[in-house]
Amino acid sequence: MPDKWTEVKLSDSFKGKIQSSIRDLNLIIKNEKYEFEEKDNGVKKKRIGWWYELNELVDNPFLLYHHLFIPGDEKDNKKEYLKNFVKQYEKVKYKMGYESLYQRFISLLNNYETIGYKVEKSLNLQTDWRLIVGLGGESALETSICLHPLYGFPYIPGNAVKGIAKAASILLNEALNQLLLPLV
C-alpha cells in the first residue's frame, strides 16, 4: 500500500468517493520502483517513483484507464504509464468474457434471421489511417479513448457513426451540386 495517498491519482469526480474504498479493499498494491528525471529550476534531478498494481478484484479496463491513474508521481511519464496499463490489461483481458458476449450477439442475430429479417453478420471496413475514438473525453491523462464501460473493449459509439454519416452526406451533396451546376 502506498504511504501517501497523494501518490495515487484519481480523476476528480471519483477522488472523494472511492479513495477510502480503495484503501479498505486493498485495490492498489505498491509494486516496483522506477527512476525518472525531473527538471527543477532548469536542473535535471533523478527521482524515484512507484508503480502500483491493481488487485485481482479490479478486472475492468475502463475503470483501469479512466479512474485509477496509477503511474506514480509524474505527468511526463505517460509512455511508462501506458506500458504499465498494457501490462495490467494483459492480466485482466481473459477474465472479461468477450467470447460469451460475442456468442450472445451471434445468437441475437440468428434470432432476427429466424423471424424474417435479413442480417449481415460481418461488415468489413478499413480506414485510410489510424482510428481512435473518444480523444476529447475526460480522463486522468490528457487524452482519452472510448472504452465500453462494462466490458472494457474499444468501440465506436452511435453518435460517432451518426457524425460520420452526416459529414459524408454533406460532402456527397456538395459533389453532386458541383456536377449539376455546370449543366444548368
Is 30 part of any domain? Answer: yes
What is the C-alpha separation between 64 and 69, in angstroms, rounded? Answer: 7
Range of the domain at 65: 1-95
- Count of domains in the chain? 1
Higher pLDDT, 181 or 130: 130
Is 19 part of any domain? Answer: yes
Is 90 part of any domain? Answer: yes
Q: Per the structure block, which three cell numbers stand in for 122?
A: 460481418
Is 36 part of any domain? Answer: yes
* pTM for the structure as a whole: 0.51
Judged by phi (left if over 0) then psi (alpha if -120 to 50, else beta), residue 91 lies in alpha
Tell me: the pLDDT tens digits for 20-76?
444 445 555 556 666 666 677 777 777 666 555 555 556 677 777 766 555 444 455
Is 115 part of any domain? Answer: no
Is 72 part of any domain? Answer: yes
Is 184 part of any domain? Answer: no
Is 43 part of any domain? Answer: yes
